[in-house]
Amino acid sequence: MSDHNQSSPRYGQSRESSRERQPSHPPFGDIRFAKPLDPELFNEKAHTMAKEIAHADPSRNKATQLRRFYDELILWETRVSQQPDKFDEFLPFIRMINAKAAYAEGRKLVDRTFVSLMQHTLKQVNDAESLTGCKLFWEAFMGFYKQERQD
């Protein structure tokens, strides 16, 4: 019986090719929606991520595709603001945006950095206030993104 673990490469891949395929992206750890908010969260940090994603593979991360994810965040933030008592009921659907991002990556519509950023931001959504912070971050991101990438 072979001795496999989760860190072993997939069938037919060498360890080197497995490592090479790991995405390289900037750390997202400084993007936080907890109070007090970093004064640069919706400025420098959103702009840095917008640049990173805008200047990646030109066939992926098109503005119309990214806008769909932002629009869904707006939808959920609006629902939560109208019915704050239902936040816990809505949270699984908010986090389902991660699955939609993964699907879009599988279809080569977005890249790994975008998916990772979406995962990082949605992981922090634990209440109505953090959802609003998340939505505002993506609003700032989209503004800078449109400036960085004209498609």
Instruction: Determine, yes or no, domain membership for 144.
Output: yes
Instruction: Determine, yes or no, domain membership for 26.
Output: no
Measured distance CA(85)–CA(20) in Å, rounded = 46
Mean pLDDT of the chain: 86
Instruction: Determine, yes or no, domain membership for 10.
Output: no
pLDDT: is 3 or 44 the higher one?
44
pLDDT of residue 109: 97
Instruction: Determine, yes or no, domain membership for 28.
Output: no
Measured distance CA(131)–CA(151) in Å, rounded = 28
pLDDT of residue 11: 39
Measured distance CA(121)–CA(29) in Å, rounded = 10
pLDDT of residue 30: 86
Q: Is the pTM of this model over 0.75?
A: yes
pLDDT of residue 129: 96
Buried b (16+ CB within 10 A) or exposed e, 58-97: eebbeeeebeebbebbeebbebbeeeeeebeebbeebeeb
Instruction: Determine, yes or no, domain membership for 104.
Output: yes
Domain count, the chain: 1
Among 132, 134, 133, 127, residue whose Cα is nearest residue 88: 127
- Look at residue 122 and tell me whether its pLDDT is greater than 60: yes
Instruction: Determine, yes or no, domain membership for 25.
Output: no
pLDDT of residue 9: 42
- Look at residue 3 and tell me whether its pLDDT is greater than 80: no
Q: If pLDDT is split at 50, 70 and 90, which confidence band does 29 have? A: confident
Instruction: Determine, yes or no, domain membership for 119.
Output: yes
- Structural domain boundaries enclosing 91: 41-148
pLDDT: is 3 or 121 the higher one?
121
Instruction: Determine, yes or no, domain membership for 108.
Output: yes
pLDDT of residue 22: 40
Q: If pLDDT is split at 50, 70 and 90, which confidence band does 28 have? A: confident
pLDDT of residue 27: 66
Measured distance CA(9)–CA(29) in Å, rounded = 27
pLDDT of residue 26: 55
pLDDT of residue 141: 97
